[in-house]
Amino acid sequence: MADDINPQEGRIPTVIADELHIVYRVNGAKTGKGSATAALSRIVKRGGDRGVRKVHAVKGVSFTAYRGEAIGLIGSNGSGKSTLLRAIAGLLPAEKGKVYTDGQPSLLGVNAALMNDLTGERNVILGGLAMGMSREQIKERYQEIVDFSGINEKGDFISLPMRTYSSGMAARLRFSIAAAKDHDVLMIDEALATGDRKFQKRSEARIRELRKEAGTVFLVSHNNKSIRDTCDRVLWLERGELLMDGPTDEVIKAYEKETGK
């Protein structure tokens, strides 16, 4: 649509965060014990919000992401990176402000929901269907997904239940399933950190391909090298606020100076 194109730069925006605030509410944070029924009756007796602790995880973040960009999210533990991704994916409601997205964003976390008791093979099919691929498309891509994951390099693991996989193997399979589809907006949460070096290289190459296919990729990572190798732009979050937004080199340099890493 012509209206979508930024007249100044001719680029197409895919994600817009406008003064976004995300607040978690933790029920019964003080006692932390007892059944759900007991907690519910406590809340009803108090007549509302008391006993609910609020965590203001994202504070007034604004940015626009464009098609073809790979954007890294950095910041110390608990700075709000995963929360921001989950909000973009539509998994968390905004307290204030707004997120606009073009197409369906897909969030690939190391905890992406696959079924532990099912075989890798079944999970490839399930994951594909969950992402909206047809059975035919999955069939076509099946071998590619298995090969990419490297699960079968040391024996026929793909026909075993996922609970028999190491955490690295499981994470690799998740990444391979998600990366098999071309996404409008693909968000990857620390997935690269879990694979071995060889797999990381393959994932980085795939991220570059996804970008070429005109999507937008977000990558949360504590590995500055991964960010350098795959992203051209970086958002630096600290205590829920956007500290810096700019070219990878500039932001990583400032971040390394600050953190001494």
Shortest Å distance, C-beta 239 to ligand ATP = 9
Compute φ and ψ for 257, nearest 5 degrees.
-65, -45
Vertex 242 angle, CA 59 and 210, to 5° = 115
Shortest Å distance, C-beta 255 to ligand ATP = 13
- Which of these ranges, 40-48, 81-89, 159-167, 174-182, lies near ligand ATP under the rule CB under 6 A? 81-89
User: Binding-site residue total for ligand ATP (CB under 6 A)?
Assistant: 12
Shortest Å distance, C-beta 43 to ligand ATP = 17
When asked if residue 106 is in the footprint of ligand ATP (CB under 6 A), the reply is: no
Among 14, 79, 123, 203, binds ligand ATP (CB under 6 A): 79
Compute φ and ψ for 109, nearest 5 degrees.
-105, 165
Vertex 194 angle, CA 138 and 22, to 5° = 85
When asked if residue 51 is in the footprint of ligand ATP (CB under 6 A), the reply is: no
When asked if residue 109 is in the footprint of ligand ATP (CB under 6 A), the reply is: no
Shortest Å distance, C-beta 187 to ligand ATP = 12
Burial environment of residue 124 by CB neighbours within 10 A (0 to 12, 13 to 18, 19 or more) = buried
Among 12, 24, 97, 121, binds ligand ATP (CB under 6 A): 24
Nearer to ligand ATP, 137 or 223 (CB): 223
Vertex 238 angle, CA 237 and 243, to 5° = 60
- DSSP H or E run through 169: helix 167-179
Vertex 107 angle, CA 79 and 158, to 5° = 120
Q: How many residues does the chain have?
A: 261
Nearer to ligand ATP, 82 or 200 (CB): 82
When asked if residue 77 is in the footprint of ligand ATP (CB under 6 A), the reply is: yes
Binding site for ligand ATP (CB under 6 A): 24, 26, 55, 57, 75, 77-83
